[in-house]
Structure 1
Amino acid sequence: MATGKKPAPDNLSPEILQAVEKGDVARFNKCVKKGANVLGLDKNGWNILHHIGYHNKYAFYRSIVLEHTQITTLIHQTANDGSTPLMMSCKPIPPDIRLIDAFVRLGGDLLYRDSHGRSCTDVTSDRNTRNYLSWRRLHTTGLPDAVLEEQSTPKNDVIMQFLRSFTYMDDTFADRFEKELKKKKEKSANIRIIFLGHEGVGKTTLCHWLIGQKVKDGGPGSTDTMEVNLSHLMINKATGEVVFLPEHDVGRTLCHRRLRDMVGNLTLSDMPPQRENNCFIGDMAYVNIFDFGGESLFTNFQHIFLNDDAVFILVFSLHNCLDELAIVDRVYFWLKFIASYSHGKYKPPVILVGTHMDKIPPADRKNTLKFVIDIIRNNPEIDEIYQNHIIEFFHIGNKTQTDSEREIIWKAILKSAPYQAQWGQLLPGSWISLEHDIMRLRNSSTRVMTFKELKERATKFGVVDVEGFLRYMHTSRTILSFPSDDEPGQPIPLDMKIILDPAWMIRAFRLIVTALKFHLQNLEKDDPLLIEYQRTRRLKREFIDRIWRMHDVKEGFLSHSETLLYFIERSELIVKPVPTGIPTDVDTYIVPSLLQPADPDLVRQYLKDKYAKTSSTLCIQFQDKFVPEAVCDKFLASLIYRFKVDDATSLCIQRGIACFLLTGDWKMIAHCRDRMIKITLFSENPSPQPFTNGKQLRGIVTDLLDSTLRRNDQLHLVYKAYLHHNFEVLQEDNVLEPSKVKSMLHSDRTTKLSKADYDFWFTMQPRPKTAGKGANASSGNTSGVDLTREPSLKQMSHIAKHIGDGYVLFFLELGMKNNTITQVRQTNAALDFRSQITRTLIAWRNSRSQSDVTLSAIVDAMNATHMDSAAMMSELSPNSQEAEKIKKSVCDLCLPERRLREVEVDIVARSIGTMYVVFFIHLDLEDEIIREAELNHHGEARNMKMHLLHTWLQRNGKEASVHRIMMASRECDIIGWKELADKLRPK
C-alpha cells in the first residue's frame, strides 16, 4: 500500500540526480560519501527510486541497492501527484521490465492508483509491459531468476518469450521452471518459414525450388490449403549451409542431437566435434516450411499457424501485378496482417519476393521493379510497414533461377531468423530433447497421443514439468493441445488428446470445407450430401465421415474423427450450434467463415416490420487499424456455440452478423466488421419485461472475445468498449465513451443516448426475488413443493426442460462462471441439450454449499432471466399433469408387467440415443455411476449404455421392469418410443 509519509526534509542534490540520470555508480557513491541524503526528495516529491524508474536504470539500481539497502524502504512512498516508484518505472518507452519486476519484489503495489485514478497499466503505452503487468498480478512469485539473468539488455525479448509461452501457467510454475533450468539449459533454434501471397503467383514453385525439389513442367498446380515440410531441413547457423534430410535420416539426426543434449554440463566447445551430413550438429537450426494456398478461402485458417514466431516470405507476381490489382491488394492485406503482430524493428521479419521476372522483357525490368515498389509504398500506412518489416526484396524468374540466387535467399532467411519471437528462447535442455523426440514420432506418421503417453516419454528425458513443455509446444504450433487456459493449476486429464501434426488437422479440415473444384475430386457434382452442404454451409456428420473415409487408409482421419472434430471446433473453425430437439442436430456444424456475406438491410427491414423495441448498442472497438476477419469469424463462432440462433427471422445467420434468442422477450443482434463488434438487443413485444442482465451480457461478450484472442495468439489486439444507437457497423460511426453517456441525463438528436443507456450495459439492475419459503405466495407457487430444499437428480432433469435459450444468463444468475458453463457443455458435447443442462445443474450443485442449492435460488434465476418458473414448478408438483400424461401414454401401450430380459438390453441401448443421461437418471442411477461408465467405455456408446442397463438390472432385480423402461423413454421423449414398445411386446 502506497503512503504519503515523507522522510527527512533534506532534498536530493543535483549531483546525485545527475548520477542517476547517467547511470554513473561511481559518481553516485562519491556523492554519498560527501554526505548526500539518498532518502531525500526533489521538488516534485520524487525519491531516488522514482528517478531510477523514470530513467530506466536497472543495472544502476542493481549496483547501488546492495550497498545502500535503505533505499528499498522508499518503494511505497508517493510523489506530490500520488505516483509511486513502481508507476514511474512503467513510464519509459519501452520500460525495462527487469526493473519493474524488481520494484514489485520490493513490495510495489500493482493495484495502486494515483491521485488521477491511474494505475501502472494506465501510465504505460508499451504493449509488452501491459501484458507483463497483467501476468504479474496473477503470479506473485515473479519471473524466474534464470530468465532475468538471461535478459542482459533492456529489450525485454527474453522475458516476453517466457510470457508468450507460459502466461497461463499457475503461480508455482516459475519455481518449477527454475529447477528444470538448473539441470541443463539451452536455447531453441527453429526457423518457421511461411509462404504467403495471392493465388497463382508461384509460391509453391518457389518453395519447391528453395528446398531442392524438382518442379514438374507446367508448375505444381494450385495448392489445396497448405503444404508443409516439417523438420526435414537443417541450416548451419554459422555458415548458412542448408542440409536437405531424407525422411529416413531425420530420426538419426535427432538421435545425435539428443545425445549431445544428455551429455550433461559440458559445453559444445568441450565436446568432440560431431558431424551429421557434414555439419556440426550444435550449429544447426531446424527448418519448418508452410506453403499456404492463395485463394481467399484458405485465409480463414492460416491464423492457426501465423504468429510473430516466423520468417514470412511474401510472394507476388511481377509479370501481372499491374494488371491484376487483386495481387497487390493481397500484398497489402498480408503486410497489414503481419504488422498487427509488430513489436519492434523487423519483428516479425518479412522477405518480399517478386516472381515471373523472366516473363518481363529485359529492357522493361528496371522500370517495372521501380514502378511496382512505388505502387506498394505509395500507401503511407503500407510504406511504414515496409520500412519496419521488410528485410530483403528479391526478384526472380520462375524458370531461370540459379544456385547463387537460392543461396542468397537462404542467407536472408538466416539473417531474419533472430527476429522470430521465440528464437533463442531459454529452455531446459531436456525439453529440447523431448521436442526432437516428438518430431521423430511425427515424421513416423504418429498423429495423436494422449497426455499420459507424453508423460511416459517425458520421463525418459528427465522432463518433470510436462504441462509447461506442452504449453511451449502448443504456443509454437509444433503440436496442438487445449489444456484449459481459464482454470490454471487444474490437472490435465491423462486421457487428453494431443495432435502431433497440426498440418494433418488442417488437411482434414480442408477436405470438408474446400473449394468446390477440390470437392469434385472426391464426390460427384450431383451428390445429395454435397448439394446440401453447398446450399446450407452446414456440415452434417454423415458428410464429414463420407469425405474422411475416402482418405482413411493414408491419413487415418476417420479413425481419429472424434479427436479431429474436437480440435477443429476448439480452433473455432467450425461450431456446433445450441442443439434443438432434433437428435441429428447434435452432429451438425456451422462454418462461420463460409456463411453468406452479411446483409444488414435484412436486419433493418426486419426491425422496421416488427416495430421492434431496441436497446442501445454496445460497441467493442479495436484500437489497431487492422483486425483479421478471422477474429470476427471466431467471435461469431463463440456466440453461436452459447446462444441459440433465431431461425424464425429472415436473416437467420450470415458471415459477420447473426440474430440470437436471449430470453422470452429479448433477442440479440451481433454485427462484426473490420475492427468493430456491435451488440444490440431488441424485442418484438412493444411492452417487454425489462432486461436486467445487460452488465452480465457485456461480461460474457468480453470474456468470449478475450478467450478467442488468447487461443489464437492475438492478445496484442487491444479493444475498448463504447456506446452507440445503431446496430450496424458503419465506417462513419461516432461512438461515445461510456463515461460521457453516464453524465447525459437526457438524450439528444445527435447521440440518441442517455444515462439509462449507460446503466443498461454498465450497471447491475435490480432483480425480482422470491426469498425462500415465504415466496410461495408472492411468486404464485401453488405446487406444494418446498422451495428451500435441494432439488433431486430427477427434479434437475425436469428443471432442465424449462431452461431454454437464456441458459448462459440463467447459470450466471446462479453464480457460475461463464468459463465453467462452457466447459461443462464442451465435456458433454455428444449429449442432447437437456442432458447438457442437467449436467450443468449438477456442476452448480457440486460447486456450492448445500444451503445455497435450493429450488428457491433456481426460481429466482429463472425469474431474473424471464423464464417460466411457474410451468417448471407445476411439473415438479406431486400432481403434475405432465407426469400423469406420460403415465397414461405408457399404460395405453398395454405392456405386461415383467422384468426386462437380458436379450432385450441391446434393443433398448440402441434406442436411447443422445439423451441417455436423463434416461438413466429416471431409472434412479446416480450421475457418478453414469460418468464412470462413460469413462470406462469411452468411444463405445452402445457398450456403455448396455453396461448401465446391466447395472440397473442387477440393482433392481424383479423391479427392473419393461414398464419402467418405457416410463423413462417417454420422459426423455425418445424418438421411436412406440417402436421400442413394439419390440418389447411379446410376439
Structure 2
Amino acid sequence: MLRRLNNALPVPIETDDELKLFLRFHHESGNILYYSDDNLGDTIVLDPQWLIDAFKSLITARMFCCRKPNIFEKWIKFNETAILTRELIDAIWEQKENIVFYEHRDLLLNYLEKLGIIAKPHQLPRVTNETDYYFVPCVLKTPPPDELLIQKESTDRRSTSKLCLTTELRFLPTAVFNKLLAACINRLALPESDAKHLIFCGCAVLDLEGNHTIHLYFFDHVIQIWITKFSSQKEEQSNRLCSQVYAFVLDILANGLHLSDHLKVFFKCQSSQHNSNENMFSEERLSKGTDVVCHCRAGRHVLQSNELTYYWHYAEEDPEEMLTDKQISSIAGNIGKEYQALAFKLGLSQVEIDHIISDFNNAVDRRTRILLRWRDKMKKKREANLDTLTKAMKAVGIDSRTVLESAECL
C-alpha cells in the first residue's frame, strides 16, 4: 500500500532503503510509529494518539466494569496487581465505542509491548501453556515491603554492590523505570512468594539462572540494581551473569530509551540503605582505582574501588586458567588460620587485610574475600590461577594438596 502511494506521487522516493529512512525520520520526529520488527514491519501507525486512546480505554474502564460483576472482579484485580488478562481486554474492547480497538487488538497489544507500556511475562521453556496476561507497570500502586529490600548477608545468600543509574541532572522520570521493568519482565523469570509475584510500585524481584535473583528499585530518580546468590556452599555471585545484566540494562536505557548522552553510572556498597542516594561513587571516580570512604554504617569504612565494580565488569582474560568463584569459595572453606600469611604471600598489603577483617566477621568470608581480592589484582598479569595459589600455600606451610583435594580442585 505504501509503495503504491509513493509511486503515485509526482516525485516518488526512489528506493526501499530511502523509503525506510523516510519512515524512521518521521518515527523519530513523533509524527508516526514505525518499527521494522517482524511482527510490526508491515504496519505504520499514522496517528500515535490512537494507541494512547486504546490504552486509556483499558485503565479507565472502571465504570463500565462496575455494571458487570464477573468482569468487575477482574478489573479490581488488574487495578491492584497490574495484571491485565486477555479476557478483560476483550470485554472492554468489545464494547461499541471500542470496537475499532477490538478489531486490531493483536496489533495494538504488540505495539503497547514494543513501547514498554505493557509486558508479557517471560515464558519458561518447560512451561507448555502460553502466558495469556500482561503486566502494566504504570498501574502498580503498592510499595514493596521493607524486608524484601534489606540485604542480609548469611551463610546461604550473598549480594553484590548496588549498581545505580541516573542522569547528569539527577532527574529520571518514573516512566523510564517502568519501561526498564517491562523489558525485564519480558526477559526474566517471575518468582512467586505466597502465590504472589514480587512486583511492586517502583520495585521488582526477578529470577536469574543459577539461583541468582535481581532486585530493581527506584528511589528519588535513581535506579538501583543488585543481584543476590543463594547457595548452601557459600558460592560467590557469577561475575559473568552480573556483567550480562549490566550490559542488558545499559542497552535498554542508553539505546532503547535514548539516554546514552545523559546516563550516569554510580555504585554503592551492599550495606548501603536502599531509601537513600547517599554514598554513591561515580564510575569515573572508581576507574582511578583509589580507595573510597563509605558512611553507610554507624561508623565509616573504607572500600577499594574494585570491591564496588568487580561483579559488574567481567574480564575475559584466561577463562580456562583463572580460578572460578566456585573454586575460590571451596578453597577458602578449607584454608586454616594461616590465611593472613597466605594473603601476604599473594601480595595483599596489611591495610587490605585489615579492611577485609573489619568488614567480614565470618572467617570463611574473610578468606574468600582475600582470594577474590588477589584474583582481581592478578587478572591483568594472568596469574590468578591454581598454580600460583598452590605455590603460595606451600610457601606459608599450608598442605596445598589436602586443601585442593577437599575443595575438589584436583
Shorter-chain TM range is 0.5 to 0.7
CA offset digits 1:948-981 (Å, max 9, x no partner): xxxxxxxxxxxxxxxxxxxxxxxxxxxxxxxxxx
From the superposition, tell whether residues 597 and 532 of structure 1 become closer, same or farther in structure 2 (CA, over 3 Å): closer
| C-alpha distance in 2 between matches for 1:666 and 1:752 | 27
Identity, % of aligned positions:
25
From the superposition, tell whether residues 607 and 653 of structure 1 become closer, same or farther in structure 2 (CA, over 3 Å): farther
Is residue 566 from structure 1 mapped to residue 114 from structure 2 by the alignment? Answer: no
From the superposition, tell whether residues 751 and 500 of structure 1 become closer, same or farther in structure 2 (CA, over 3 Å): farther
* TM-score of the two chains, using structure 1 as the length reference: 0.29
Is residue 470 from structure 1 mapped to residue 23 from structure 2 by the alignment? Answer: yes
| C-alpha distance in 1 between matches for 2:200 and 2:147 | 11
Alignment of 1:132-143 (within 5 A): none
Aligned-pair CA distance for 1:681: 1.0
| C-alpha distance in 1 between matches for 2:209 and 2:292 | 28
From the superposition, tell whether residues 563 and 526 of structure 1 become closer, same or farther in structure 2 (CA, over 3 Å): closer
| C-alpha distance in 2 between matches for 1:610 and 1:568 | 43
* 1:167 counterpart residue number: none
From the superposition, tell whether residues 614 and 645 of structure 1 become closer, same or farther in structure 2 (CA, over 3 Å): same
Is residue 683 from structure 1 mapped to residue 229 from structure 2 by the alignment? Answer: yes
* Contact preservation (8 Å) 2:34, 2:41: no
From the superposition, tell whether residues 709 and 455 of structure 1 become closer, same or farther in structure 2 (CA, over 3 Å): same
Is residue 692 from structure 1 mapped to residue 239 from structure 2 by the alignment? Answer: yes
From the superposition, tell whether residues 533 and 599 of structure 1 become closer, same or farther in structure 2 (CA, over 3 Å): closer
From the superposition, tell whether residues 763 and 555 of structure 1 become closer, same or farther in structure 2 (CA, over 3 Å): same
From the superposition, tell whether residues 674 and 458 of structure 1 become closer, same or farther in structure 2 (CA, over 3 Å): farther
CA offset digits 1:415-445 (Å, max 9, x no partner): xxxxxxxxxxxxxxxxxxxxxxxxxxxxxxx
Aligned-pair CA distance for 1:668: 1.1
Task: Report the secondary structure of 2:161's partner residue.
Answer: strand
Task: Report the secondary structure of 1:499's partner residue.
Answer: coil
Alignment of 1:660-739 (within 5 A): 660-685=206-231, 687-693=234-240, 694-710=242-258, 715=259, 718-726=262-270, 729-739=274-284
Aligned-pair CA distance for 1:586: 2.2
The letter of the residue matching 2:3 is K
Task: Report the secondary structure of 2:239's partner residue.
Answer: coil
Instruction: Choose the corresponding residue for 2:53, options 499, 504, 507.
Output: 507
In proportion to residue count, which structure has more helix?
1
Task: Report the secondary structure of 1:671's partner residue.
Answer: strand
The letter of the residue matching 1:655 is C
Is residue 644 from structure 1 mapped to residue 189 from structure 2 by the alignment? Answer: yes
| C-alpha distance in 2 between matches for 1:475 and 1:740 | 35
Task: Report the secondary structure of 2:104's partner residue.
Answer: helix
| C-alpha distance in 1 between matches for 2:26 and 2:103 | 24
| C-alpha distance in 1 between matches for 2:280 and 2:169 | 16
Alignment of 1:944-963 (within 5 A): none
Task: Report the secondary structure of 1:579's partner residue.
Answer: coil
* 1:626 counterpart residue number: 171
* Contact preservation (8 Å) 2:239, 2:314: no
CA offset digits 1:446-477 (Å, max 9, x no partner): xxxxxxx2122111111332212212332333
* 1:805 counterpart residue number: none
From the superposition, tell whether residues 513 and 545 of structure 1 become closer, same or farther in structure 2 (CA, over 3 Å): same
Task: Report the secondary structure of 1:722's partner residue.
Answer: strand
Task: Report the secondary structure of 1:645's partner residue.
Answer: coil
* 1:859 counterpart residue number: none
Alignment of 1:437-516 (within 5 A): 453-461=1-9, 462-464=12-14, 465-483=18-36, 496-514=42-60, 516=62
CA offset digits 1:129-178 (Å, max 9, x no partner): xxxxxxxxxxxxxxxxxxxxxxxxxxxxxxxxxxxxxxxxxxxxxxxxxx
From the superposition, tell whether residues 582 and 545 of structure 1 become closer, same or farther in structure 2 (CA, over 3 Å): farther
* 1:659 counterpart residue number: 205
Aligned-pair CA distance for 1:573: 0.7
Aligned-pair CA distance for 1:740: 4.1
CA offset digits 1:689-725 (Å, max 9, x no partner): 5412133321111001123313xxxx48612111101
Aligned-pair CA distance for 1:566: 0.5
| C-alpha distance in 1 between matches for 2:29 and 2:146 | 42
| C-alpha distance in 2 between matches for 1:658 and 1:751 | 29
Aligned-pair CA distance for 1:589: 0.3
Is residue 762 from structure 1 mapped to residue 313 from structure 2 by the alignment? Answer: yes
Alignment of 1:276-291 (within 5 A): none
* Contact preservation (8 Å) 2:269, 2:308: no
| C-alpha distance in 2 between matches for 1:577 and 1:597 | 19
From the superposition, tell whether residues 741 and 483 of structure 1 become closer, same or farther in structure 2 (CA, over 3 Å): same
| C-alpha distance in 2 between matches for 1:648 and 1:688 | 24
The letter of the residue matching 2:13 is V
* 1:617 counterpart residue number: 162
* 1:537 counterpart residue number: 82
Cα RMSD (Å):
3.3
Aligned-pair CA distance for 1:478: 2.7
From the superposition, tell whether residues 527 and 642 of structure 1 become closer, same or farther in structure 2 (CA, over 3 Å): same
| C-alpha distance in 1 between matches for 2:319 and 2:171 | 44
From the superposition, tell whether residues 625 and 575 of structure 1 become closer, same or farther in structure 2 (CA, over 3 Å): same
The letter of the residue matching 1:659 is V
| C-alpha distance in 1 between matches for 2:106 and 2:174 | 28
Identify which of structures 1 and 2 has the higher relative contact order when contacts are C-alpha pairs closer than 8 Å and 6+ apart: 2
Aligned-pair CA distance for 1:533: 2.3
Task: Report the secondary structure of 1:720's partner residue.
Answer: strand
* Contact preservation (8 Å) 1:616, 1:725: yes
From the superposition, tell whether residues 578 and 691 of structure 1 become closer, same or farther in structure 2 (CA, over 3 Å): same
* Contact preservation (8 Å) 2:170, 2:222: no
Alignment of 1:25-44 (within 5 A): none
Aligned-pair CA distance for 1:534: 3.3
| C-alpha distance in 2 between matches for 1:728 and 1:518 | 43
CA offset digits 1:709-753 (Å, max 9, x no partner): 13xxxx486121111014754344121123544524798763563
From the superposition, tell whether residues 697 and 562 of structure 1 become closer, same or farther in structure 2 (CA, over 3 Å): same
* Contact preservation (8 Å) 1:537, 1:594: yes
| C-alpha distance in 1 between matches for 2:40 and 2:72 | 41
Instruction: Choose the corresponding residue for 1:750, options 294, 300, 319.
Output: 300
| C-alpha distance in 1 between matches for 2:44 and 2:29 | 14
| C-alpha distance in 1 between matches for 2:316 and 2:136 | 36
CA offset digits 1:580-632 (Å, max 9, x no partner): 45555522100011123333513235747996311111111211243221111
Of stretches 668-677 and 567-576 in structure 1, the one that deviates more from structure 2 is: 668-677
The letter of the residue matching 1:539 is L
CA offset digits 1:259-314 (Å, max 9, x no partner): xxxxxxxxxxxxxxxxxxxxxxxxxxxxxxxxxxxxxxxxxxxxxxxxxxxxxxxx
Structure 1 or 2, whichever has the larger Rg, is: 1
| C-alpha distance in 1 between matches for 2:314 and 2:301 | 20
From the superposition, tell whether residues 674 and 523 of structure 1 become closer, same or farther in structure 2 (CA, over 3 Å): farther
From the superposition, tell whether residues 534 and 697 of structure 1 become closer, same or farther in structure 2 (CA, over 3 Å): closer
**What 5-or-longer segments of structure 2 have no aligned partner?**
322-410
* 1:150 counterpart residue number: none
